[in-house]
Amino acid sequence: MIKGDFTLPGEAGYEELTLELAKKWGADAIRDSDGTVLSDKIISTGYDIYSTICLVRADNEWAKANRNKLQQNYLMSKPVVAETHKIEIDLLSGFFREQFEVNASDDPKKWWQVFDRTTSEEIPKEQWSFNPSNGIVTIEKVKKWHQYTVNFLAWQIWEGISMYNHTTNNWNQEHQMPVDPIYPETQQFMLDYLQKWLDEHPHTKIVRFTSLFYNFAWFWGDPAIQRFTYADWGSYEGTVSPRAMRLFAESRGYEMTSEDFVNNGAYCTSHNVPSERLLDWMDFMNEFVIGFGRKCIDVIHAADKVAYMFYDDHWVGTEPYCKRFKDLGFDGLIKCVFNAFEARLCAGVKGVGLKELRLHPYLFPTGLRGEPTFMEGGDPALDAKRFWANIRRGLLRAPIDRIGLGGYLHLVQDFPDFVEAIKHIAGEFRTIKQFHSEGAPYTAPLKVAVLTAWGNLRSWVYVGHFIHGMELYEITESLAGLPVEVEFISFQDILDHGIPNDIDVILNAGKVGTAWSGGEHWKNEKIIETITEWVAGGGGFIGVGEPSAFPNSGQYFRLSHLLGVDREIGQTLSNVKIETSVAAGNHFILEDIDSNIDFGKDIDNIFVLSKDTTVLSEIDGSPKIAINQFGKGQSLYLSGFKFNAENTRLLLRSLYFAAGRQSDFGSWVCSNIHTDCAFYPNTKKLVIINCRDFEERTTVVDGNGKVFDVLLKPHGIEIIDL
Amino acid sequence: MIKGDFTLPGEAGYEELTLELAKKWGADAIRDSDGTVLSDKIISTGYDIYSTICLVRADNEWAKANRNKLQQNYLMSKPVVAETHKIEIDLLSGFFREQFEVNASDDPKKWWQVFDRTTSEEIPKEQWSFNPSNGIVTIEKVKKWHQYTVNFLAWQIWEGISMYNHTTNNWNQEHQMPVDPIYPETQQFMLDYLQKWLDEHPHTKIVRFTSLFYNFAWFWGDPAIQRFTYADWGSYEGTVSPRAMRLFAESRGYEMTSEDFVNNGAYCTSHNVPSERLLDWMDFMNEFVIGFGRKCIDVIHAADKVAYMFYDDHWVGTEPYCKRFKDLGFDGLIKCVFNAFEARLCAGVKGVGLKELRLHPYLFPTGLRGEPTFMEGGDPALDAKRFWANIRRGLLRAPIDRIGLGGYLHLVQDFPDFVEAIKHIAGEFRTIKQFHSEGAPYTAPLKVAVLTAWGNLRSWVYVGHFIHGMELYEITESLAGLPVEVEFISFQDILDHGIPNDIDVILNAGKVGTAWSGGEHWKNEKIIETITEWVAGGGGFIGVGEPSAFPNSGQYFRLSHLLGVDREIGQTLSNVKIETSVAAGNHFILEDIDSNIDFGKDIDNIFVLSKDTTVLSEIDGSPKIAINQFGKGQSLYLSGFKFNAENTRLLLRSLYFAAGRQSDFGSWVCSNIHTDCAFYPNTKKLVIINCRDFEERTTVVDGNGKVFDVLLKPHGIEIIDL
């Protein structure tokens, strides 16, 4: 297959370039992008036409005429220290005033809350007043030197993604405002608009939603201080409105408060252990989004078109990893990707037709961090190859149906090597897809369950961008390219169903108190019992950073009896620690590593509980890697994790070790850790890839001991017929 | 003055050596040591005779005949994971069986507690039983995979200090057992013994108690695993007995439980914020120790002798920093010292006559960490000079009356350079003492209050040995040699009396949750109000590590509004941090530092709260030093602290800065940070010391701008007459 499965961003005014590149890259579909249009000349070429629509910001005239139906947020005013017994708080101080406007029309006394954050007490409503003319709340009878904040409703008067594209690309157009589909009138408007739009786009085959209704939480700051003040890809802040809260109370039998969303300024962050109330709200919004979203998709299907969803931006409420997701009826799901774990995130969704990746770099002058891309100083061809090398690790493991680009096509004109790079990438993609289509690749005889407070709902962590230094992101990126089955489970899953029979290793990673490590869930004795019994019976447990941590003077790691190590946090310094030294000899899990282990920032002050714990590596006397036997099972502690080739191999071997399968290790693993391979048994193809910028030599041993030896170009690929 | 103020350890069999060194070192007193005796030949020389007595281990025959009056401890058995519904716990497993014996005579069902440590629940007494014949507790109906421990009473069958000296010096004598003076019979025995001992020691002038009754908590481990399992110099573990607990209940109106002492295995550690109950117990024991201790001292005074106390070993309950201490009537206090802060600890005690320092190295073959001293491979002269250089910093600031040595005198015979070194040290000591006697040295115009949960009671931290890496120890050692007034205050002091009028700077340092940082005290709004108001009015606040830390999603450092920084602990990663860069130019506090700042282990993930915070140094984007103005006051954050010359100077300048006194900085400060000076206005003497092993040149500017320039020998001293 030499063409197809590729979506090209077309651009009016560059029709020849559009068609030339469509041919060169083997495109079968042409799309518009936010800020670009397709001309009739492009539309009439016979390519499938992708058109982007974002119903919540589709018609600014309607939005302007219905400002009481804009989307809202609960914001917390920046803390103010009281220097007298009466203070004034300028609600939007510190926020971007072009993004937010205080909602004075829904009764502040009903919907807002004022807190003494020094004591966490709410201030009685009669003690404060709001002046709509200047946006200031005055609080009387405050306690001097305490800090006060106001939880208030603010309209979103500039839609976040549009705002980002506008400011990044120096647009000069009217600010687009997002409307809230929670109102019946908005729903009707949106359905009507959609029908009209479909009628006006007869050539469009694929309607790409960007995305449904609610954007991830993205609060911008006062530009004099900071561009962004809050950003969480999984947070439901944008779904709030008095109407939604009323509907929730009717449906669920209790009322949410502003503080449920504000959470002392941490908002509904994905990093916190979700409360039952937050999970209820998410479930409620998911029900709403699926319900109304389905109506929109039905309109599209009735027009004989297909509907794809962009799995970024306004994805909140759709929850692709939720059982309801299939009810939406989407025909495709598109994910923009920098890394392998994002490819796996997309590939893992069930209940949707096609899956497509939007590759980076976007055809924009600068990248997401402001670095030059399609401009002087940029090297988009190298960027593309590197991103591809990252993503390709994941693509070897899980199938994706299509790839594509986004942005301004004309920008590629000065970068012919980028055009060539994409041509090669498209070819490689089609080859790998072909192998997948004939059967799944070989995986190691083990399955790992990543245990977090979110479980399956936030599989492959919570995306947005790779948060470097956060243990679970780093691990997830390693896992994304390993030949192992991966599942994400929650503490509630364990309570409800126990540990699934097919799991060989449980992995828990993160900082104490976070959703990733598990926080208060580790107080639950049933969790401790279940995992302890399971490991005693032969299960494997891998803990990274502060696994199972819960502050408790006796046992900081609540599974320290399995791990064989615990952490000293300064409160039990008088308990003398047992001295150990690094075990002699090269342990199975370290066999491919010839350099020092670099976990980035290690969790320090780790100590062994007994002489039975084996320390494989340490830093300043604190174990970096320790293993311990408990009953028939084995546990492994890592003091941190950083995604790189050495640690990825360390993790693969650790999984084999924890699963008690080290004797099975060897076949279908590259000798050179900077390369990866996948064997597709049905087609008898062995794919070997080079993840680095340098030429690399590697060998692979098949299941019968036969050795294959290849020399790979930088970022190269070799395919061997067996 | 060329002689006096020096206590020499005499040794029978080495009479000539004793007298020769007494002359050479200018001794005016000769002492015995644990393990040595003085012969008549020594006793009759006319020197003051110091004799050591430790009443609780004075007569092993009496102890053997009264095994039900030995000292006790509550121990927590090592945690056992239940693999079935019935478990057996060998109580002394993991402990040193030569130190402890289970107390089966006081009803276990009354005095012991069994806990499920997985749930923190106590197990009903009917579910467990104790078998005295094998020391095993059997627990029925346990929850599988939970961890269980037993709090039990154990007799101390080998007194800790004696055990240490015995094992270190390979003694072969009977194990000495400590008796408990809580029993009237023991008290009578001790008073009788003391009287008899006094009668038998007519030549003794000074009775040195080593010390009174209760040793600091020192639990030894199973030698196959670890030598020590718990050590805390400030812990009251050793004061426990059913009788004491009954007397406490009568006196205080409520009962202590075993768990008040065991505290989930952390025991009554000094690192934890003391509970009200623990403070009550300490007060109760202090009352008892002072009461009976006074009776012993009265007996000595009646015999026309004086009584000194060794401020180490069995010092628990005496509490030299407690108001009652003066009631004991001690004539002298002796502290063994390695560091300047220990010298200050001794010097700071009120209500006692003389203060004496026991210098290191002890005349033992090896040091406390097992390193060679008076044996092949040792260099005791260099050790002595280095210890002296450490201690001398503190001696310049606060007066001490005497110095001395301890151990086996004969060991010095092979080390003539050690003999010379001590001669020089004794001379320097007498010179510095002389200056102090004529008036206090100059101090900077500022006073710092170190704020901890313990306050004055644990002034100069809690000693024992320097715990390297613990912020407050490191700071205290720097402070000990600085020309500033230092006071230690508690949170309760602030609640009771506010911040003393003479304080210019408050310093809070340590890890979250510890007694040093303050733990739960930071929840108290009154504390926040008082300190905030005080800084707003012009006070200075210095926070180190995790100052004012209390986990709370809004404000981890509860005084972050003063410090201008807070810490990200992984739960608010979605709150975008304000970017800053290190301020240009060399700030006042960094002026003498030409190398990178090394705080040892920094607290990471610090971020600024606003652009108003000035960052002076950072590591990996996390501020190491930040300053912030609040009202009229200034605060300073340090991400860690390590005692060295650079940081000591940094601290001195930080104090001037926080106090708003930087314009006063300059006079009576050495230009070379490896040297220190003290100016004694009454005698017009300027003392300049070299703290290093190398020759150093330094200048000092007096109050009128006159510059003094000196070249100092390694560890040297220069005295300038002004």
Which amino acid is present at B14? Y
- Residue A116 sits at φ, ψ, to 5 deg, of -85, 105
Q: What is the mean pLDDT of residues B471-489?
A: 97
Mean confidence (pLDDT) of chain B? 95
Closest Cα to residue A630, out of A561, A566, A529? A561
Q: Is B264 in the A-facing interface, judged by CB distances under 8 Å?
A: yes
In chain A, residues with a C-beta closer than 8 Å to the C-beta of B146 are 525, 528-529
Q: What is the mean pLDDT of residues A54-60?
A: 95
pLDDT per position as a tens digit, B401-435: 999 999 999 999 999 999 999 999 999 999 999 99
User: Taking a C-beta distance cutoff of 8 angstroms, is the pair B309, B212 a contact?
Assistant: yes
pLDDT per position as a tens digit, A566-605: 999 999 999 999 998 999 888 999 999 877 899 999 999 9
Verify whether the Cβ–Cβ distance A561 to B147 is below 8 Å.
yes
Q: How far is the C-alpha of B489 from the C-alpha of B499, rounded, in Å?
A: 9
Q: Is A119 in the B-facing interface, judged by CB distances under 8 Å?
A: yes
Q: How far is the C-alpha of B503 from the C-alpha of B485, rounded, in Å?
A: 9
Q: Is B424 in the A-facing interface, judged by CB distances under 8 Å?
A: no
Q: A117: nearest CA in chain B?
A: B554
Q: How far is the C-alpha of B242 from the C-alpha of B176, rounded, in Å?
A: 22
pLDDT for B3 equals 86
CA distance B558 to chain A (A): 8
Q: Is B468 in the A-facing interface, judged by CB distances under 8 Å?
A: no
pLDDT for A464 equals 67
Q: Is A257 in the B-facing interface, judged by CB distances under 8 Å?
A: no
Sequence-distant (≥ 6) Cβ neighbours of residue B369 within 8 angstroms = none
pLDDT for A465 equals 77
pLDDT per position as a tens digit, A112-137: 999 999 999 999 999 999 999 999 99
pLDDT for A370 equals 84
The bridge status of strand B696-701 relative to strand B707-712 is: antiparallel
Convert B575-587 to b/e letters by CB count within 10 Å (16 or more is b): bbbeebeeeeeeb
In chain A, residues with a C-beta closer than 8 Å to the C-beta of B578 are 225-226
pLDDT per position as a tens digit, A549-572: 998 768 999 999 999 999 999 999
Q: How far is the C-alpha of A403 from the C-alpha of A3, rounded, in Å?
A: 12
In chain A, residues with a C-beta closer than 8 Å to the C-beta of B466 are none
Which of A119, A144, A575 is facing B266, going by the closest CB pair? A575
β-bridge partners, B179:
B70
pLDDT for A405 equals 96
Verify whether the Cβ–Cβ distance B570 to A271 is below 8 Å.
yes
Closest Cα to residue A541, out of A589, A499, A505? A505
Sequence-distant (≥ 6) Cβ neighbours of residue A355 within 8 angstroms = A332, A333, A334, A335, A346, A347, A349, A399, A400, A401, A402
Verify whether the Cβ–Cβ distance A230 to B631 is below 8 Å.
no
Q: What is the mean pLDDT of residues B323-333?
A: 96
pLDDT for A93 equals 98
Q: B522: nearest CA in chain A?
A: A118
CA distance B268 to chain A (A): 10
**pLDDT surpassing 60 at residue B1:** no
Residue A111 structure tokens: 């919907």
Q: Is A229 in the B-facing interface, judged by CB distances under 8 Å?
A: yes
Q: Find the farthest-apart pair of alpha carbons in chain B and give their distance in angstroms, rounded.
A: 82
In chain A, residues with a C-beta closer than 8 Å to the C-beta of B555 are 79, 117, 147
pLDDT for B464 equals 67
Mean confidence (pLDDT) of chain A? 95
pLDDT per position as a tens digit, A396-434: 999 999 999 999 999 999 999 999 999 999 999 999 999
In chain A, residues with a C-beta closer than 8 Å to the C-beta of B553 are 263-266, 272
Q: How far is the C-alpha of B661 from the C-alpha of B657, rounded, in Å?
A: 6
Q: What is the mean pLDDT of residues B499-511?
A: 97
Q: What is the mean pLDDT of residues A223-229?
A: 95
CA distances from B379 to B387, B425, B426, B716 (A): 12, 16, 19, 18
Q: What is the mean pLDDT of residues B670-684?
A: 97
CA distance B262 to chain A (A): 10
Interface pTM, i.e. ipTM: 0.95
B612 is catalytic: no
CA distance A289 to chain B (A): 24
Q: Is B603 in the A-facing interface, judged by CB distances under 8 Å?
A: no
Q: B600: nearest CA in chain A?
A: A620
pLDDT for B36 equals 75
Verify whether the Cβ–Cβ distance B525 to A119 is below 8 Å.
yes
SS3 A244: helix
Q: How far is the C-alpha of A5 from the C-alpha of A258, rounded, in Å?
A: 46
Q: Which of B313, B566, B602, B676 is catalytic?
A: B313
pLDDT per position as a tens digit, A675-696: 999 999 999 999 999 999 999 9
SS3 B721: strand
Verify whether the Cβ–Cβ distance A528 to B229 is below 8 Å.
no
pLDDT per position as a tens digit, B67-109: 999 999 999 999 999 999 999 999 999 999 999 999 999 999 9
pTM for the full predicted model: 0.96
CA distances from A151 to A260, A285, A429 (A): 10, 21, 49
- Hey, of A525, A561, A574, which one would you mutate to test binding to chain B, going by the most B CBs within 10 A of its CB? A574
Q: What is the mean pLDDT of residues B299-314?
A: 96
pLDDT exceeding 70 applies to what percent of chain A? 99
CA distances from B301 to A347, B44, B51, B191, B352 (A): 88, 22, 15, 13, 14
Q: Which domains does chain B have, with CATH numbers?
A: 6-61+165-218+228-435 (3.20.20.80), 65-160 (2.60.40.10), 447-664 (3.40.50.880), 675-721 (2.60.40.1180)
Q: Which of A313, A383, A566, A602 is catalytic?
A: A313
Tell me how many helices (H) and strands (E) chain B has: 17, 33
**pLDDT surpassing 60 at residue A661:** yes
Q: What is the mean pLDDT of residues B356-376?
A: 92
Q: How far is the C-alpha of A715 from the C-alpha of A696, rounded, in Å?
A: 9
Return residues 683-722 of B near A (CB < 8 Å).
none
The dihedral sign for the CA sequence A606, A611, A615, A621? positive
Half-sphere exposure of B596 (CA within 13 A, CB side): 5
**pLDDT surpassing 50 at residue B227:** yes
- Hey, of B528, B573, B574, B598, which one would you mutate to test binding to chain A, going by the most A CBs within 10 A of its CB? B574
Q: What is the mean pLDDT of residues A326-344?
A: 96
Q: Is A131 left (phi over 0), alpha (psi -120 to 50) or beta?
A: beta
Cα B88 from chain centroid (whole Å): 39
CA distance B627 to chain A (A): 18
